[in-house]
Amino acid sequence: MSPKPATPKSRTVLRLLERFGLVIVLLIIGTALTLLQPQFLTSANLLNVARQISINGILAVGVTYVLLTGGVDLSLGSIVALTGVVAATFAHPGEWPVLVPIALGILSGACCGALNGLVITRGRIAPFIVTLGMMTLARGLALLLSNGRPVSNLGTGFLAVGGDFLGFPVQILILLAIAGASRLFLSNMRLGRHIFAVGGNEEASRAAGLNVAGIKTFAYTMSGGLAGLAGVMLAARITTGQPNAGVAYELDAIAAAVIGGTSLSGGVGGIGGTLLGALLMGVINNGLDLLNVSSYYQQIIKGIIIIGAVWLDRRQRN
Amino acid sequence: MSPKPATPKSRTVLRLLERFGLVIVLLIIGTALTLLQPQFLTSANLLNVARQISINGILAVGVTYVLLTGGVDLSLGSIVALTGVVAATFAHPGEWPVLVPIALGILSGACCGALNGLVITRGRIAPFIVTLGMMTLARGLALLLSNGRPVSNLGTGFLAVGGDFLGFPVQILILLAIAGASRLFLSNMRLGRHIFAVGGNEEASRAAGLNVAGIKTFAYTMSGGLAGLAGVMLAARITTGQPNAGVAYELDAIAAAVIGGTSLSGGVGGIGGTLLGALLMGVINNGLDLLNVSSYYQQIIKGIIIIGAVWLDRRQRN
Amino acid sequence: MGWLLEICDITKSFSGVPVLNGVSLSLQAGEIHALVGENGAGKSTLMKVVAGLHQPDAGELRLDGNPTRFRSPHEALLAGVAMIHQELLPFLDLTVAENIFMGIEPVSGPGWIDRPALHRKTVELLDRLGLKIPPDRRMRELRVAEMQTVEILKALAHNARLIIMDEPTSALTDREAGALFAILNDLRQRGASIIYISHKLEEVFRLADRVTILRDGCHVATHPIGGITTEALISLMVGRPLANRPRSAPGRAAPPILSVRNLALGRRFNNVSFDLAPGEVLGIAGLMGAGRSSLLSALYGLDPADSGQISIGGRALKISSPRNALDAGIGLVTEDRKVSGFIPLFGPRQNMTLAALRRWCRFGWIDQAAESAVADEQIRLFGIRASGRDQPVLRLSGGNQQKVVLARSMLAGPGVLLLDEPTRGIDIAAKEEVHRIVSDLARNGTAILLVSSELPELLSLSHRLLVMCEGRITGTLDPRTTTQEEILTLAMPG
Amino acid sequence: DRPGTPEQPAKPGTKPIVIGVSLMNLASEFIGMINQSIEARAKELGVQLIVTDAQRSPEKQVQQVEGFIARKVDAIILNPCEVEASSPAVTKALAAGIPIINVNSETRTAPTAFVGSRDEESARIAMDYIATRLNGHGNVLMMQGFLGQAAQIKRDQGAREVLKSRPGLKLLADQTAEWDRAKAISLMENWIQAHGTNIQAVFAQNDEMGMGALLALEQAKLKEKVIVVSVDAISDALQAVKAGRLDATVFQDARGQGSTAVDTALSILRKQPFSPQVFIPFQLVTRTNISNYTK
Ligand SMILES: Nc1ncnc2c1ncn2[C@@H]1O[C@H](COP(=O)(O)OP(=O)(O)OP(=O)(O)O)[C@@H](O)[C@H]1O
Ligand SMILES: Nc1ncnc2c1ncn2[C@@H]1O[C@H](COP(=O)(O)OP(=O)(O)OP(=O)(O)O)[C@@H](O)[C@H]1O
Ligand SMILES: [Mg+2]
Ligand SMILES: [Mg+2]
């Protein structure tokens, strides 16, 4: 911060940088990758990246709701597995209309999320513990329902969720729709505003007459429901309901949100950042594969790049 | 809280209950298990439980330091793997005195922890991101150092760490020593109290002239160092330095601490509770195995019991 | 004689917005120097620069004539400069003793805390202020006023040469404040210097040797206290003389809107009964811990009562959450704005509309334009000094934060307004403004229950005055005829 | 003091035999199949089982065996997570005088008996098939399992042996997809970008990843040009071979391994002769012999 006031124009640029520090980081990484491997900047590859981030993106949008209230959701990965199994069970060809498995998947995810929210708010138990319990529980349910075996032989209607629509992968369209709606909701709807309030100061929110328990439960339900959607999308992408899918997906989702500037202590953040965070993670994964970096080094480099990117971003905002 | 004042005696009992709610929960679960399967209450089995919780216990004690400052450490599991590999590399029979691998294991863990702490405090980056990066990085290092293969053929001196001493498993003795020392440290030493202060109110700590960055870095270093110790103990127990060991150990460790009453937002908690939390998790695992509950149901039941135990505990304290 | 501290030409701005413009101030050893100015004038910011919490953009500090720069509060403390912050900074889960001696704990052996010594020293300090707080009680269990006294003890414990006190008495009653002044006089006698920030001008005249006035981040004047009158001081602060407010009209005779019967909550208060009519301002006086705040939060459903009846407009109600209270037309301005008053990262706009957001919504969709218009109007009405309606309230000065909280409660349009220390920490002009607003609301039919530790405020605003002591109502007085002595007799236990 | 239950064919008055089973990971379809055959065989023979799931953690596996020892089971069937790290379990059981049978994979410490296959062999079979199909010349990609796990290490080893002996085969890249189908799809998508039409074959160390590679190749319309082979013969993979999508998988006889392990345990307990090492061979499954593996 310089003591002399900046000119209006340079201040606008500074503010843009501040808001979109991650965009700059992304541009830097993107340019570096393009120089090292021109293949990176082809539309086919960029579509790939988009496809690859869509599931993590949806989960990250969902968990952003929870993080904004100051909570956390560790059960996402297991819910992805459970809902994938549920959806796949109803997606065998010719048995049910395609909307049934999709709706059931989303619904079962939303139920898990609502249960999380109710136990957290009624029982006054730390979200970490409750969602950790749900993580184990939902995984067990997924294994039990599928008897430990992948549920395969899915109908083509259902599999279309993992396919393309007018040349665009359906998953990306879903991600964009969900992210857009969530952004509008959080910034323009009353309930969205209340989510920020609860995360910003729970006690003051209660004193302002907000239904804190209801608002939190809503956030967990959204998170669970979107995990259900992600489960459906994953099942369609891998053409099977895998009871052991999605392990540790929650960590990636939370990481995307936090990289994007959402605070783990609540009240700060938003969907735009979360999407950028997911994109950054996707680009790093894709780039390291394209550059053919060996597995061991990939992990080391990935760890360093993520920390470095967040550091650069925060520095720029200062 | 009833309006009529309780008699002094019943109040003492109430206060005991309040402080040791988890003890009651443990007694209930223990009694139930003994009734269902008398095998539970044999000294051989109880020693088993103690042995089984020792590694998680050490990690949980370590992460308690970090949680008390209001941080989090996701890199524990990977540090366990890395330090196990480091220690095993120097533990081949007849090459180095047994203290060398042990010291190097602990030291390399402490270095990872210190690095976490430095990046978090200097770079002002969320602990979640930094330790997530370290999680990937340390795993990559462990694979690189071991070339992706278990490091075996370890000397008997080193393996003794995983054995018995006067009929008592060495690991339990280590856990008790570490927990005892940590308890004294946290409640009676200046630095220990300062850890609580930083977690309780960082701004106030800074205003009171505490070296907040130094205190946090210390906590991460302790957490990393104890993870290093756990890595050494694990390598001795499974007689090999396994680069893929310890996956998701951090979740169990954090869960033990949180079940024991340590808050994820910092400033509240302690070692006694953490040990009880680890014990509770160990008893549940052991009991479900003893009762021959099938694997899928085990996961479901475990999730429910953990949430239920914490609920009972919090209710009792009210 | 030399200066203890010289503040030379300090300039400081936050993200381009100047807050201090070349402020200079010099301080003698053994002097109590008052610092006054409107909310947002820059008093706290200047003092944070002195205490090492902020770095100045330009200018310098000289301690004993030597240029100094404190890079952290730690360095300032080492040099003998301690500060009591306007916003309380308690360690809620540590004990009173640990709070007071944080960072300077007595140790025996390397790093081992000497508990008996810690206890002894804490008791000594508490005794100096005549307090009976157990040293090993957790801060969380204390009330705001007690916390504030602990903050004061923190600074005393450092044996500092220069103690900065940023509104130390904003939550104290006259009795505790009196004890504090005795200590300050004692400290002055021993050669320590004190910079004393307060909006209570009578304290300034009672205590200070000299007074400095800040306005809009600029130094306006420094005067020996004998050389200035209250009116002159006010006009220097505000930039204009204050109009005299007409005394409020007596309440109309109307059926009560709020009736409370035999309300009780644990050992905090019991057997509380009173009626409140529309248009009436009912004041409640009492000492620290009398149960006034507990009563208000019970009426508002934050900490519901165990027994007793509350009725609104003749209808008995069960109020178990603030939502119930708001729906019944009861609003509350809480005592501790930081904990339960506002959302720190929301701007004035979002904070002010929070409790009644529905009014600016259609189908759950917020009408941002209408909301902003309302916010701007309130900002103007209350004279809130903020860089915009979306500047995080966290970054506003303490008094402006209080105004935001007040504005929110008013916007909910309650029929019964509960005010708990509504003018805590706000400047004299704004206080007049709040008093005017309270009177206006009452004139327009709002029933107001007012808790305040400032007797003059209570006496001038209320139509009727209740006195509480140890959780019970000990008397009902007519503010026009009663005296401070009469109130104190009823408020004192025994 | 365990009352015999009526449906057991054991002679009245004798205690039923109790076998403790520690499985590496019940969430894996293949291990689930081994478990089912163990349970089915045990039921036929009236043996009581205590089945535990180590969820891929060798430490947990050691704990479970310690538990079996404390409960004084008659025999232990161990499906080891790791060669080295699960060895203490074997050592402890032997020290306690309880016979222990390793099923499916090995530990460094020799158990009382071993029933299973050599993982290296499965990769060798798969790579040999690729070499034959490519006439010894071409570019190959390899998807690794979870790095550092016994199965990954051995399958990697087996594959590299073949690569060494066939200089015409070039390993373009190898990378882990952690046994996971979704990760494999993403990896294959990225490989297609990086290597495009240079790819002639993909060897995936398990069928899940093989299916992932297959899906990505099909989506990019490249499957016709690339051979995909994987290991395990899970039902999805068999279906894919049958449909002519997946070129080959390598069958490992889960049922044979499970029931043989129980049989061996009983022979040991009844002091009958038994063979200390039973190797159940892998079999290559292609479209030509698929009918032997699907019902
Ligand atoms: N950290 C900050 N970032 C941005 N602006 C700030 C910050 N701290 C203070 N300000 C602004 O500086 C101005 C002066 O604030 P300060 O707290 O010094 O006022 P004050 O004189 O202490 O007022 P009060 O009597 O209300 O406490 C205010 O307008 C405030 O909004
Ligand atoms: N959360 C609580 N739990 C138990 N006792 C409490 C609690 N809060 C307050 N008390 C007790 O209730 C009594 C009344 O406290 P209260 O805060 O209502 O007083 P007050 O008159 O508002 O004082 P002040 O002027 O400081 O605001 C005190 O004796 C206090 O110790
Ligand atoms: Mg101030
Ligand atoms: Mg009060």
For chain C, domain boundaries: 5-237, 258-491
Per-residue pLDDT reduced to its tens digit, C40-90: 899 999 999 999 999 999 999 999 999 999 998 889 988 999 999 888 889
Chain B nearest CA to C74, separation (Å): 4
Q: C415 exposed, middle or buried (CB, 10 Å; 0-12, 13-18, 19+)? A: middle
* Choice among A8-12, C176-180, D141-145 with the minimum mean pLDDT: A8-12
How far apart, in whole angstroms, are the C-alpha atoms of residue D246 and residue D181? 14
From residue C242, alpha-carbon distances to B35, C216, C232, C383, C433 in Å are 81, 18, 10, 15, 10
How far apart, in whole angstroms, are the C-alpha atoms of residue A133 and residue B26? 18
**Mean pLDDT of successive 10-residue stretches along chain A, which has 318 residues:** 44 61 89 93 93 96 97 97 98 94 98 98 93 96 94 94 87 96 96 97 94 97 98 96 94 94 91 95 95 91 90 74
CA A38 remoteness from chain centre: 29
The answer, yes or no, to whether any atom of ligand 2 lies below 6 A from the CB of C477, is no
3-state secondary structure (DSSP) of residue D151: helix
Q: What is the CA radius of gyration of chain C?
A: 23
Nearest atom of ligand 1 to the alpha carbon of C399: 26
Cα end-to-end distance, chain D, whole Å: 44
Mutual orientation of helices B43-68 and B212-237 as an angle, nearest 10°? 160
In a domain, A15, yes or no: no
What was the pLDDT predicted at C482? Answer: 87
What was the pLDDT predicted at A174? Answer: 97
In a domain, A156, yes or no: yes
Chain A nearest CA to D213, separation (Å): 10
What was the pLDDT predicted at A6? Answer: 41
How far apart, in whole angstroms, are the C-alpha atoms of residue D68 and residue D20? 6
Closest residue of chain D to B53, computed from CA coordinates: D63
Amino acid at the residue A102: I
What was the pLDDT predicted at B11? Answer: 56
* ipTM reported for the complex, 2 dp: 0.90
Q: What is the CA radius of gyration of chain A?
A: 20
Distance C267 CA to ligand 2 centre (A): 9
Q: Is residue C228 pLDDT above 70, yes or no?
A: yes
Q: Is A5 on the interface with C (CB under 8 A)?
A: yes
Sign of CA dihedral B248, B252, B255, B257: negative
What was the pLDDT predicted at D124? Answer: 97
The answer, yes or no, to whether any atom of ligand 2 lies below 6 A from the CB of C95, is no
Q: What is the CA radius of gyration of chain D?
A: 21
The residue ranking higher by pLDDT, B17 or A115, is: A115
Q: Do chains D and C touch (3 or more CB pairs under 8 A)?
A: no
Closest CA to D188 of D171, D174, D167: D174
Q: Where are the alpha helices (DSSP H) in B69-211?
A: 76-89, 99-123, 127-146, 156-159, 170-188, 190-200, 202-207
3-state secondary structure (DSSP) of residue C245: coil
Task: Tell me if D105 sits within 8 A of D167, measured CB to CB.
Answer: no
What was the pLDDT predicted at A99? Answer: 96
The answer, yes or no, to whether any atom of ligand 2 lies below 6 A from the CB of C291, is yes
User: To which CATH superfamily is domain C5-237 assigned?
Assistant: P-loop containing nucleotide triphosphate hydrolases (3.40.50.300)
Q: What percentage of chain C carries pLDDT values higher than 90?
A: 57
What was the pLDDT predicted at B2? Answer: 38
Residue D222, both tokens: 């490249």
DSSP for D175-219, please give it: EE-TT-HHHHHHHHHHHHHHHGGG--EEEESSHHHHHHHHHHHHH
Amino acid at the residue A180: G
Query: Could you tell me which residues of chain C have a Cβ less than 8 Å from any Cβ in chain A?
Result: 11, 13, 15-16, 57-58, 300, 302, 321-323, 325-326, 332, 334, 339-346, 350, 354-355, 357-358, 361, 364-366, 368, 408, 412
Report the pLDDT averaged over residues D279-295: 91
C129 C-beta neighbours (distance < 10 Å), count: 17
Q: Is residue D3 pLDDT above 80, yes or no?
A: no
Beta strand C32-37 with C193-197: parallel, antiparallel or unpaired?
parallel
The tally of CA atoms less than 13 A away on the side-chain side of residue D210 is: 29
In a domain, A238, yes or no: yes
- Indicate the CATH number for domain C258-491: 3.40.50.300
CB contact under 8 A, C93 and B196: yes
Chain B nearest CA to A195, separation (Å): 19
Domain extent, residue B311, equals: 46-317
How far apart, in whole angstroms, are the C-alpha atoms of residue B2 and residue B14? 12
What was the pLDDT predicted at D8? Answer: 41
The residue ranking higher by pLDDT, A202 or C178, is: A202
**C5-237 against C258-491: fold identical:** yes
The binding-site residues of ligand 1, defined as CB within 6 angstroms of any ligand atom, are C 14, 19, 37, 39-45, 86, 385, 395-400, 427
C245 — pLDDT class (breaks 50, 70, 90) = low
In a domain, A112, yes or no: yes
What was the pLDDT predicted at C489? Answer: 87
Record the pTM. 0.91
In a domain, A30, yes or no: no
Task: Tell me if B105 sits within 8 A of B275, measured CB to CB.
Answer: no
Per-residue pLDDT reduced to its tens digit, C369-424: 999 999 999 999 888 889 899 999 999 988 899 999 999 998 988 899 999 999 88
The enclosing domain of B220 has a CATH number of: 1.10.3470
DSSP for B56-91, please give it: HHHHHHHHHHHHHTT-----HHHHHHHHHHHHHHT-
**Which are the contacts of B91, defined by CB distance < 8 A and separation ≥ 6?**
B98, B101, B154, B155, B158, B235, B241
Q: Which residue has the tokens 């936050």?
A: C14
Q: Indicate the DSSP class of residue B160.
A: G
Q: Is residue D9 pLDDT above 50, yes or no?
A: no
Sheet architecture: strand order including C66-68: C17-28, C3-14, C58-63, C66-68
> To the nearest 10°, the Cα dihedral for B300, B26, A121, A69?
-80
In a domain, A16, yes or no: no
In a domain, B245, yes or no: yes
Q: B3 exposed, middle or buried (CB, 10 Å; 0-12, 13-18, 19+)? A: exposed
Query: How many domains does chain A contain in total?
Result: 1
3-state secondary structure (DSSP) of residue C471: coil
Q: Is residue C114 pLDDT above 90, yes or no?
A: yes
Q: Indicate the DSSP class of residue A241.
A: B
What was the pLDDT predicted at C243? Answer: 57
Closest residue to A39, CB basis, from D26, D185, D194? D194
What was the pLDDT predicted at B314? Answer: 79
Per-residue pLDDT reduced to its tens digit, D235-265: 899 999 999 999 999 998 888 999 999 999 9
What was the pLDDT predicted at C240? Answer: 65
Closest CA to C25 of B285, A43, C13, C42: C42
Closest residue to B150, CB basis, from D26, D51, D83? D83
